[in-house]
Each structure stands twice: as C-alpha cells, then as structure tokens.
Structure 1
Amino acid sequence: MTEKLYYIEPYLKECEAEIVDVIKEEQKILVVLNKTPFYPEGGGQPSDTGSINGVKVIYVYEKNNIIYHQIEKELKCGKAICSVDFERRFDFIQQHSGEHLLSGVIHKLYKGNNKGFHMGEDYVTIDIDIYPFTDTMIEEIEREVNRYIYVNEPFVTYIVDKEGLNKTSSRKKIDVEGDIRIVEAKDMDCCPCCGTHVLRTGEIGIIKILKVEKYKGMSRMYLKCGKRAYEDFKVKHEIISTLSKKFSTDENHLIKNVNKQSEEIFNLKRQLNDLKIKLAQEEAIKLINDSNESFIFKSYENKSFEEVKDIGEAISKNPYICILTSLKDKNILFINNSNIKISCGKVFKEHIREFNGKGGGKDKTAQGAFESLEDLDKFYLFLCKMVKN
C-alpha cells in the first residue's frame, strides 16, 4: 500500500520518498514509492505529473491500493526526491473544487443531480438531470456559486462507512463497502470524492459557466474556474477591446454597432447580387444575339465560376446548348435546353476523367473542375466538337 501524501497535504510540492519497486511493462517503466505526493487519475480528475529524481513523471494511476508512476526512463530503487508540477495540480484543485460548489448550488436551488463529470485540460463539464436551463436559472446559479467562494469557508474531508454516509448531508449516495471519503464545504456542498481540493472556497477565485447544451436528455454544462476563468476573460476582453477600436465605440454600444454594420453589409451584398444577375442577363442577351446557331460556346478569362453560372442560368431560359468555362477557377459548365438529345451528365460521366477532370450532373446540366488549364481547354474543345457534330 502506498501512503497518500496528497490527502494529508494537497499543497505539497516536493518531498523525499523511497522507490520500492521498478517495473517494466509493455515498453512502460513504472515506479512504486512507499509514499507519494502524486495524485493518481480518478474521480474525474487527471493525474499529477512532475519528476522523480529529475526523471519526468508522465502518468500516475492506482491499482489494488498501490500507486504506479509511469516515468520516461528507468530509475533504481532507493531514495527519491519527488517534485509535483504544482501549477497543473493547483489548476485541477480549482476546477474540482469549483465543480463541487456548482453541483451543490444546482442541487440546492433546483434539486438537479450531477450525473457526470469530466475535467479536461481546457474546460470542465458536468451533466445535470435537468433540461432545459433558462438564462435566468444560469444567472441565479452563477451568482450563488460565486457567493459561496466569497464567504471563504473551509473545505473539510473525513472518512465514513456505509452507514455513516447516510447520516451526512451528502447530495449523492453511493452503494459501496468500506471506507468512504467525504469532501464538505459547510452549508454549500457535501459529497463522496477521492480528488484533491482547495483548503478554503476563496482559493477557487471565480466560477464562470461558458455554455449549456442538451446531452442525452439532460444538460451538459461547460465551466471554467480560477485561473482558467481569468485567462478566458483575458482573451475575450482583448477581442472586445480590438472590436471596440475597430468600430470606434465602447463595449456598451459594440453590439449595436456590429448589428448596424452587419445590416449594411447584408443590404450591399443583396444589391451587388442583383447587379451581378443583371450583368449576367445582359451578357446572356449579347451571346444569344451574336449566335447564329443553336449552341453557344464561350471561355472567360477573368470571370469567376459563380459569374459564369449566372450567365448560364440566364441563357438556359432559351433553347440553346451552352458550354461556358471560367479559366480563372478552372471550371466548366455544360447546359442543354435544346431539342437535341444530349445528356450533359452522361457525357461528363463517360469522358471527363479522360481529361483529368472531376464533375457530373443531370441530363440538362453538368459542371466540372480541372487541375490544369490545358486539361480544361482540351475538354472544352472536345465538347464543342461533339455538339457541332
């Protein structure tokens, strides 16, 4: 059995221990200590990392009351200096403690139960058996959970048995035999837990709910606590400051200005689209007037394929076979609205690959794309010759 120093002193950064076993297992090197400050993965909390005698600890797990430390290279049994990556540890402490308080508030206010918990490197999620959460509910939850932080009450831990668990105010009952570790912040939350936590609620700093989404008939809540919440605010503040400068306004009027400009852009895009369609129609009329046949062939060097398709759309209202290309985008458009029996899609399916192109379509229209202008031009000439014949 490994003595668990992280329970005795969760803020322990460095200590001496004894390496009692070194195990090589499936290209992994595992070290067993007589006592350890490293928290093993469990209870939704990732494991600690750090070093043992200067060798990096990359993963820690527990099995049969023995804690195994996966390290990068082999060590020998004997004295060990253990150093915990405390920045990582304290981050997880803040997140885990914040999750407890948030779950406690939700249970207190709305009788919601935490049915799942995941602590990632970037954010924390909890799954609550309530759906939906309104904006008013989220505001009330955030206000109350941060009030819990400000009162700066202590987190306490103690051990009970199965019978003793029923005598606690735990929001969660578990059916296990043996000792059960309870983590409690008085009048805020009480719950069985094997993780590490802050000594007092004030050390969490702040809790911010980022978003809530539907998940398996419940609600999945994303949150950040402490330094993570600060870093998130910092990034978003920089974005808001940049946008405020760009729109020459303060943050209170930013949304109004953004909406105004978005509306202006929408109207301009609509006007531009109307103008493009009008130009396409005029170009279609010119091509029809210049044609003495039942077909129209044209390559455009500087028009986008979207512009070419607008021209094709205008021509297709008349009884013509139309072959248009955009040399700019290396695309081709084939339209048959005549009485001549040519299936555009079938022609593309049977021949376009011979010219290293990709594409397809239906009887009356098809389109394709090419990597090179040379291949596009060859296919264009092939189609023109086929139609003429």
Structure 2
Amino acid sequence: MLKDRLYYKDPYRTAFKSNVVREGVEDGRPFAVLENTVFYPTGGGQPHDTGKLNGIRVTDVEEKDGEIRHYVEVPLNALIVSGKIDWTRRHDHMQQHTGQHILTAAFIETAGCPTVSFHLGRETVSIDLDTEHLIDEQLDAAEKRANEIIMENREIETRWVTEGELDHSRLRKAVAVEEEIRLVIIPDYDYNGCGGTHPYSTGEVGQLKILGMERMKKKTRVHFVCGNRVLRQLGKKNQVLKEAMGMLSVPEEETAEAIRRLLNANRTLEKRLQEAEDRLLEAEAQSLISGGRLVKAAFSDRPITDLQKLGRAAVAAREDVIMLLAVRNGSKLQFVAARGSEAGYSMKQVASAALEATGGKGGGSDAFVQGGGDTSLTAEELLAIMAASIGE
C-alpha cells in the first residue's frame, strides 16, 4: 500500500535497509526494485530523491507499473541493500513543495486565482495561475499572506482517506485518484490532495519570496523560492549588486540612478555614432557616383544594410545613376541594385539575372532590388552579369 512506503511514513528518515525484489535494465540504465524505500520517485511536480544504495549512486527514481525503480550507475548484484538519501536535496524539496501549497492557497484567498500547474526546478519554483491579469500589488498581498502562514508555524497534517471520506467542499482542486487518497492539510487554511513529501509544520519552510511573474498564453507564471533558496538568491543578487557598485563607484542606494544615467549616455552615443556612420556612407556614395552614371562596386565582409544605404544615398543624389553593388559574406554572395528616377531601366531585370546566377532569393521594385545566395561566383563576376542584363 502507498501509505506503507517509508518516505510517507517518515519524510525525515534518511537511511534504511531493504530486500531487493528484482534488478533490470531499461534503455541501458540499470535499476533495482526494493521491498520498500525512502527514495521518493518523481511525481506531482516534485523531483525524485538521490542518494546511494550499497555505496552506488542513485541517479533517478521513477514509479512504473506500480513499482519504484531506482536507477543506479552500475548494477547492484545484491539481495539486500543499505540505502541513504541526500537529505539536503530532500529537505529542499519539502520546503519548496510546501511553500507552493501555501502560496497557491494565498493566491486563492487574496486574489481568487487558482493554480493550474506547478514546477519545482533546481534554482526556482513556479506556479501557473489561471488568470491573464495580475498586478504587483496582488503579488505582494499573496507573498505577505504566505509568510504569515509560515511564521505562524501551523501544523501540517497528512491523512489517508477514501473517496467517501473526502470533504469535497474544502478541496482546493479535484483529486486525480479514487483509492488511497492522501491529503495534506494546513488547518483552517488549505485542504489538498497531494503525494509529495512535506514537513510537520509550516515554520520549516522558513520564508518565501516571489521573484517575478510573466504572461504565459492566457495564464500568469509566478516564480518564487522558499527556505534556504531565499538565502542563496539573496547572496547571488548581493554579489551582482556589489560588482555593479564597484564598477559604477557609487553607494548601494545610488546604483539604480547611476545605471539610468549610464544607459541614457549610451543611447546618446549610439545615436551619434549612427549619425556619423550615415554621413560616412553618404560621402562614400558621393565618391562612387562621381565616376559616372553606372557604378559597379564589389565588397567583402560588409553588412548588406551598408549596401542598401549606399544605393539609396546614391540615387537620392543623382537621378540618372545606376548602382550595382555586390558583397561576399562567407559562403553567401549578396547584391543590391538601385536606379535614379531618370535612369530608365527596371532593376527587376537585374534581380532576375542575379538570382538565376546565384540560385538565391530576393526581390524588390523597379527602382530597388536586393538578394543573394550561396555560389562560387566572385562579386566581380556577379556585377558583370548584372550589368549585362541591362545592356551595360
């Protein structure tokens, strides 16, 4: 029976001995099935325990076909095993999972938002709330209520019931099983079916901190951490802040304002740099069109956007000009063709010839085209083909 499993009978138990029922291999991974175990298998949003069996590392624990498989690095080849779980990992999962129960109930109480899914990751935990609209004030209210429940150190009860013994009016959500239903109850606060491991009181969760939220289709995902993870997150953020303070040479309370000033200055510099680059391209275009009405220019390792700007600047400055430009960027040969309003040719002719030669893709209008493809042609050879397409 489920309730006889060691991890349910005592979630604080870390070591045990058991007979080996059988060993096997699945997808190249050896595993062992035991008579009983303290190893919690992945399920209900909570990851599996890790640890050792007879000194051999347990890498995964899954329940399949009613049996718990302990996947190990090498076969045990044993009839009896001594096992020990990684308590730090188990206790962390207990803190995070219980914190999820508390926060989920807090969102129902303070915002009327039920949880539809839960994920316990290595660094953070998340719940998806059944709402598209959630504001910071609602996050704050739920976090405050959750921490009140934690600080009150309320007892956490676990109880095995049948379908007939369920109080459906108190259930936070419908249970997924009909037999051996396990309830996790925080009196006068939360009544929920759950198969995870939990501490005996809410105070063991320590503290809960919401890290942020994001929209997920028609749901809202809330990221948070509990217990020792709060301290780790605080340590990480403090280190980042310390480094930022050092680079900016400002005290902590002035860091945000210093970053704003730096970003504003950077945006100004980027704008000025872009303006300077545009002026250089205009000067380059003037130089190219000074040699005659037909301009052919080959480049290498240059952004196609530069060629586009050169073409537009040239036709704006000279109405009869025809600009044929090609650039080699790695294996790709790209082109731009542009004409002034008095040039008298359609650049679509040029594009058709260039695309046939390169086997690439592109297009445009009668006045401006662009494209390219993977080809062994040189830029100069492509320019010759483009010029010939209009009889030049």
Does residue 250 of the first structure (1) align with residue 256 of the second (2)?
no
| Aligned 8 A contact 2:354 2:382 in 1 | no
Does residue 7 of the first structure (1) align with residue 8 of the second (2)?
yes
* Structural mapping, 1:152-163, within 5 Å: 152-163=153-164
Taking the aligned partners of 1:286 and 1:24, their CA distance within structure 2 comes to 74
| Aligned 8 A contact 1:104 1:190 in 2 | no
Displacement of 1:101:
0.8
* 1:365 pairs with one of 346, 364, 369: 369
Taking the aligned partners of 1:167 and 1:304, their CA distance within structure 2 comes to 65
Displacement of 1:195:
0.4
Q: Which residue of 2 aligns with 1:21?
A: 22
Q: Which residue of 1 aligns with 2:115?
A: 114
* Structural mapping, 1:1-389, within 5 Å: 3-24=4-25, 27-63=28-64, 65-166=66-167, 169-174=170-175, 176-288=177-289, 290-292=290-292, 294-299=293-298, 305-317=304-316, 318-325=319-326, 332-337=335-340, 338-342=343-347, 343-353=349-359, 360-362=362-364, 363=366, 364-368=368-372, 375-383=378-386, 389=392
Deviations 1:86-136 (A, max 9, x none): 232222112111101101211222333222222233332222223311110
Taking the aligned partners of 1:350 and 1:238, their CA distance within structure 2 comes to 57
| Aligned 8 A contact 1:30 1:68 in 2 | yes
Deviations 1:37-60 (A, max 9, x none): 111222221222222112332322
| Aligned 8 A contact 2:116 2:127 in 1 | yes
Q: Secondary structure at the match of 2:378?
A: helix
Taking the aligned partners of 2:337 and 2:188, their CA distance within structure 1 comes to 74
Distance 1:45 1:304, change over 3 A: closer
Displacement of 1:385:
6.0
- The residue identity in structure 1 corresponding to 2:39 is F
Identity %: 27
Q: Indicate the larger mover: 324-333 or 29-38.
A: 324-333
Displacement of 1:388:
6.3
Alignment: residue pair count: 382
| Aligned 8 A contact 1:125 1:221 in 2 | yes
Q: Secondary structure at the match of 2:69?
A: strand
Deviations 1:341-384 (A, max 9, x none): 4523212211124xxxx563324322447799x83344345545
Taking the aligned partners of 1:222 and 1:279, their CA distance within structure 2 comes to 48
Taking the aligned partners of 2:38 and 2:98, their CA distance within structure 1 comes to 19
| Aligned 8 A contact 1:276 1:307 in 2 | no
Taking the aligned partners of 1:28 and 1:143, their CA distance within structure 2 comes to 45
Displacement of 1:26:
5.5
Displacement of 1:306:
4.0
Q: CA RMSD, aligned part only? A: 3.1
Distance 1:176 1:34, change over 3 A: closer
| Aligned 8 A contact 1:62 1:68 in 2 | yes
| Aligned 8 A contact 1:344 1:361 in 2 | no
Deviations 1:200-225 (A, max 9, x none): 32322322222323345332222222
Displacement of 1:64:
5.9
Q: Secondary structure at the match of 2:296?
A: strand
- The residue identity in structure 2 corresponding to 1:379 is L
Displacement of 1:255:
2.4
| Aligned 8 A contact 1:93 1:197 in 2 | yes
Deviations 1:192-245 (A, max 9, x none): 111001233232232222232334533222222223333333222222222222
| Aligned 8 A contact 1:104 1:188 in 2 | yes
Could you tell me which runs of 5 or more consecutive residues in structure 1 were left unpaired when the two chains were aligned. Answer: none
Taking the aligned partners of 1:286 and 1:105, their CA distance within structure 2 comes to 70
- The residue identity in structure 1 corresponding to 2:157 is V
